[in-house]
Amino acid sequence: MRPPPSRLRPAGRAAAVWIGLFALGGSLFFFHLGSYALWEPDEARYAEIGREMAVSRDFIIPHLDQVPYVEKPPLLYWLETLSISLGGANEGAARVPVALFALLALAATVAFCLRAGADRSSAFISGLVLATSALYAIMAQVLTTDMLLTALMSFAWFAFYLQWANGGRWWFLSSVAVALGVLAKGPVALVLLALPALSFLWWEGRRAGGWRLRHVSAGLALAAALALPWFVVVALREPGFLRFYLLGEHLARFFDPSYAHGEPFHYYLPVVLAGFMPWTLLWPALDWRTALARPEGRFCAAAAVCVIVFFSLASGKLIPYVLPAWPPLAVLTGEALGATLAAPARMGRLRRGWFMLAAGALAALGAGCLAAGLLPALARQPYVALTRRALMASGATLVAAGALAALSFSFSRIRVGVAAFGLAAWLALIIGGYGRIAAEPLRSYAVLGRRLAPLARHATVIVYPRYVQGIPFYCRCRVILVGPLTELAFGARHSQDASRYFFQGPDTLIHLWHTLPRPIVVIDRAALEPIAARLAPLQVVAAERDKVAIRPAAAPGMGWRAR
């Protein structure tokens, strides 16, 4: 017998909303995923490591330019290897794992809200907020380890809370997730679980809830059993690994401002405000008191604050480091926004005024984008000139959405105004994908690499004076580096053939030019000028921005193909 309609409709609505959220996330995270080249340096580096792992079948030691590269654990490279093996060594296949993990984190965020007892409206608002927040949607298409860590920490945090609230076996999921987080980005995953957990337990009066000592002990043992073997094997195979990895890549990066990317303590304040747009514009109007009255709201507040403060204390800072704060921020924002929408009649004049100001700020943001697109010279940034069409289209979208939201808020149609924010964010991010394609020439050497690829099969490729990450990936070859080793330093020290592939100084470059068979040198234009006479006769075979690829001018018997 068919169930009564009253039983079908709620399930149907839930399924429709889930489908809508996955369609929203999928359209943002997978749109144009393979349409733009790998950006320097991170995307090109990680893609090449995955490609080399797929070719070498060495799944333990990651390699870059065929020397050990152990700055990061292997989880991303394993996923890259699988994706490249199935889809080929191309940009889309390289980025698929990151987009998939962004989708997993989105699903985990909504499922957590529902499991934790939030009403369905707030849960799906949290998903909408997460999917359309600027930094999250952008990083869902960027090949780095940050989205993997974000998704895995979401699973670890949410499972920790559900174990606390409901008991059961959520500790198992939390332990597995944090172990995978260690394999994605290192011991920082343990810190990012421990800090919010301890802060929340302190906030709740040290009440352990569904956690027992046996859960903690078993969880730590399980996490160690999953994560430690890789570190032990690498330490045995690569002498000096633990000192390099723990002291250099973690302690020095955290405490030494001169080590890498030193920034002031407040660095992440504008990152959070801008990266969570457009939803930060609504924050002053939201009912935070109701959201924080619920324990899951307090837990998410603890998680987000701990992430932001922890990375703010670190000396080395990069924008994506703070991305794990986004899912708990989305839960907290969704609950506060859901509570605000649930009682529009009780909304005071001040809160309505904040909504109107948010709509005006959204329109003003759009007007700024329009002005930058119309007058790119004023911005004095080449990115603005290349992306002016996308800027203008995004600006028009935001202006229109701001006007619609203001009109809706003025007539107390708060839900319509909030929907305008979500729609504007989705459209602006989709349009931004075209802007990213337009900006590709400033961030990639794919054109240079693709032009060299046919020649590189029968040549010796040399890069000078610094390593160009994308050349090995697009040329499918190992390169000789004449210049600083930078991230290849550890691998070069542990490579038996380092003396054949790593050199210093222009005199060495000139010696290689005259002695190696069929050399092709990828060189900075500025570095070429003072030594061009010593390399003559030469031929430029490809060029892109500040780099040119040169080879000895064609001579009888050399076998070079004319271009």
- Mean pLDDT confidence for 293-314: 95
φ, ψ dihedrals at 290, nearest 5°: -65, -40
Query: In this predicted structure, what is the pLDDT of residue 308?
Result: 97
Listed range (4-18, 428-442, 466-480) with the worst mean pLDDT: 4-18
pLDDT above 70: residue 555:
no
End-to-end CA distance of the chain: 74
Query: Closest by alpha carbon to 464, among 516, 415, 422?
Result: 516
pLDDT above 80: residue 251:
no
pLDDT above 60: residue 143:
yes
Query: Hey, what amino acid is at 158?
Result: F
- Mean pLDDT confidence for 532-554: 91
Both tokens assigned to 391: 């800027």
Listed range (158-172, 461-475, 541-555) with the worst mean pLDDT: 541-555
Query: In this predicted structure, what is the pLDDT of residue 342?
Result: 83
Query: In this predicted structure, what is the pLDDT of residue 264?
Result: 87
- Mean pLDDT confidence for 352-380: 88
pLDDT band of 2, cuts 50, 70, 90? very low
- Mean pLDDT confidence for 433-452: 91
Contacts of 552 (CB under 8 A, 6+ apart): 513, 519, 535, 537, 538, 539, 558
- Mean pLDDT confidence for 459-471: 95
What is the greatest pairwise CA distance in the chain?
89
CA separation for the pair 340, 414 (Å, rounded): 9
Query: In this predicted structure, what is the pLDDT of residue 346?
Result: 66
pLDDT above 70: residue 64:
yes
Query: In this predicted structure, what is the pLDDT of residue 345?
Result: 61
Query: In this predicted structure, what is the pLDDT of residue 561?
Result: 42
pLDDT band of 343, cuts 50, 70, 90? confident
Query: In this predicted structure, what is the pLDDT of residue 402?
Result: 95
pLDDT band of 256, cuts 50, 70, 90? low
Query: In this predicted structure, what is the pLDDT of residue 7?
Result: 40
pLDDT band of 119, cuts 50, 70, 90? confident
Listed range (141-145, 260-264, 386-390) with the worst mean pLDDT: 260-264
- Of 53 and 17, more confident: 53
Helix (H) or strand (E) holding 38: none
For residue 252, how many other CB atoms are within 10 A of its CB? 15
Contact predicate 64/70, CB 8 Å: no
pTM equals 0.92
Query: In this predicted structure, what is the pLDDT of residue 212?
Result: 81
CA separation for the pair 90, 121 (Å, rounded): 39
- Mean pLDDT confidence for 110-119: 88
Return the percentage of the chain with pLDDT > 90, whole number.
72
- Mean pLDDT confidence for 25-30: 94
Residue-wise pLDDT tens digits, 180-225:
999 999 999 999 999 999 999 988 886 777 778 888 899 999 999 9
